[in-house]
């Protein structure tokens, strides 16, 4: 398949009979560690990857936004006014994919930022539904395009928050900030450590000689929505019960509960709620230890935390699938692999693997063959590098 930048430019030429004025790019992301803790005020460690969404665009003299989506063989248009109706330029409901750019325009306008008419074509190499934040990449790339067009500037974290608001309040998906944050703030060769309570963050250099390998199981997350919301509710129930049991009103989220206090008071929880909360408390503890291990180049020890995370996501949080378990268990045994686990919400999607760079290609071949043999499915394997965040690339 052609590069998404080239597809976007070609689609622009076909749709608008001219050349784009610029091309914007925003990457997808994979999370190395810190899973299902963002809504528990914990810490996450994403990496912006070198798979991205691209928008080829030019200003439109009217208040019309015209979109071509060659990957979907679809198009849509809407006006930069009356966003609350979620309608296209002809008064019909916008297709779901177009809600993401429309929601970004709505959110930016609510910030008092200029959102002008736009002719644009969007194409992406971030697979949809795989847990690599394809929707966040689309949101951030359109925000970047409008920023360039309007000649205004937001700090990357603020741009990410505007995109998160679009997804939460306009599209109606209750995501955390991590996806948009990584897409906007990514730094080549680095992982990003984000405190989801304070929004303080820092870029941590990845040790030399390591690759991030993403393995797409091919299973999509049909059940993720309702189950994701249920996990959030179970975590909140655990917070309320533990606050009473520990007798500490400062407990606002599971981040505030130590392993020792949890073990001491877990019996006060419903058994299912206790299993869910145990993963989160353990994962927050892993995240307290992980940055120092990564900075010291202790990849085997960091990888062990990834392996432990997968075990807990499988056994305690119960968001894995047989296919993800095969990918993780197989990868953990292959030469050059430091750690492997599912990444994203679960119920399908991808695993993330930290692998010695000189072993990455052989690792990908062996993992693909073993997965096909065990499941009868084909896995898409991507050897990735940590990428810069969103920007104008042409």
Nearest to 361 by CA among 211, 208, 177: 211
Q: Which residues are catalytic?
A: 179
Q: What is the SS3 assignment for 189?
A: coil
In terms of DSSP bridges, do strands 210-216 and 380-384 run parallel, antiparallel, or are they unpaired?
Answer: antiparallel
Tokens standing for residue 324: 């993800």
Nearest to 178 by CA among 25, 67, 287: 287
Rounded Cα gap, residues 64 and 42, in angstroms? 41
Number of H helices, E strands in the chain: 11, 13
Rounded Cα gap, residues 371 and 57, in angstroms? 40
Task: Evaluate whether 48 touches 182 at the Cβ level (below 8 Å).
Answer: yes
In order of 133, 136, 145, the CA distances from 192 in angstroms are: 15, 16, 23
**% helix, strand, coil for the chain, step of 5:** 45, 20, 30
Rounded Cα gap, residues 40 and 43, in angstroms? 9
Q: What is the SS3 assignment for 11?
A: helix
**335 C-beta neighbours (distance < 10 Å), count:** 10
- What is the torsional sign of CA 79, 83, 89, 95? positive
Tokens standing for residue 164: 């998160």
């Amino acid at each position: 398949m052609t590069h998404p930048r080239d597809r976007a430019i070609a689609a622009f030429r076909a749709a608008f009979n001219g050349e784009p004025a610029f091309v914007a790019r925003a990457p997808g992301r994979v999370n190395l560690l810190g899973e299902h803790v963002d809504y528990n005020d914990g810490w996450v460690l994403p990496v912006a990857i070198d798979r991205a969404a691209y928008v080829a665009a030019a200003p439109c003299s009217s208040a019309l936004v015209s979109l071509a989506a060659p990957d979907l063989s679809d198009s849509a248009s809407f006006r930069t006014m009356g966003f609350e109706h979620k309608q296209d330029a002809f008064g019909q409901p916008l297709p779901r994919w177009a809600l993401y750019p429309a929601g970004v325009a709505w959110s930016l306008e609510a910030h008092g930022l200029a959102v002008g008419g736009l002719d644009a074509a969007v194409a992406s190499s971030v697979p949809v539904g795989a847990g690599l934040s394809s929707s966040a990449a689309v949101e951030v790339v359109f925000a970047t395009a409008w920023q360039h067009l309007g000649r205004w500037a937001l700090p990357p974290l603020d741009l990410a928050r505007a995109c998160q608001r679009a997804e939460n309040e306009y599209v109606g998906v209750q995501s955390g900030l991590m996806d948009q944050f990584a897409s906007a703030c990514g730094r080549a060769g680095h992982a990003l450590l984000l405190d989801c309570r304070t929004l303080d963050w820092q870029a941590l250099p990845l040790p030399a000689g390591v690759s991030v390998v993403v393995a797409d199981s091919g299973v999509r997350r049909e059940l993720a929505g309702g189950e994701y919301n249920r996990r959030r509710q179970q975590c909140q129930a655990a917070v309320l019960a533990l606050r009473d049991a520990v007798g500490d009103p400062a407990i606002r989220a599971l981040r505030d509960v130590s392993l020792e206090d949890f073990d001491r008071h877990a019996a006060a929880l419903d058994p299912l709620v206790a299993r869910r909360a145990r993963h989160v408390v353990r994962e927050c503890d892993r995240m307290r230890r992980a940055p120092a291990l990564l900075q010291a180049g202790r990849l085997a020890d960091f990888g062990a935390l990834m392996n432990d995370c997968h075990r807990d996501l499988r056994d305690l949080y119960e968001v894995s699938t047989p296919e993800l378990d095969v990918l993780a268990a197989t990868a953990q045994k292959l030469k050059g692999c430091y750690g492997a686990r599912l990444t994203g919400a679960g119920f399908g999607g991808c695993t993330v693997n930290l692998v010695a760079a000189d072993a990455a290609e052989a690792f990908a071949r062996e993992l693909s063959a073993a997965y096909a043999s065990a499941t009868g499915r084909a896995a898409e394997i991507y050897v990735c590098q940590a990428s810069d965040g969103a920007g104008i690339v042409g």
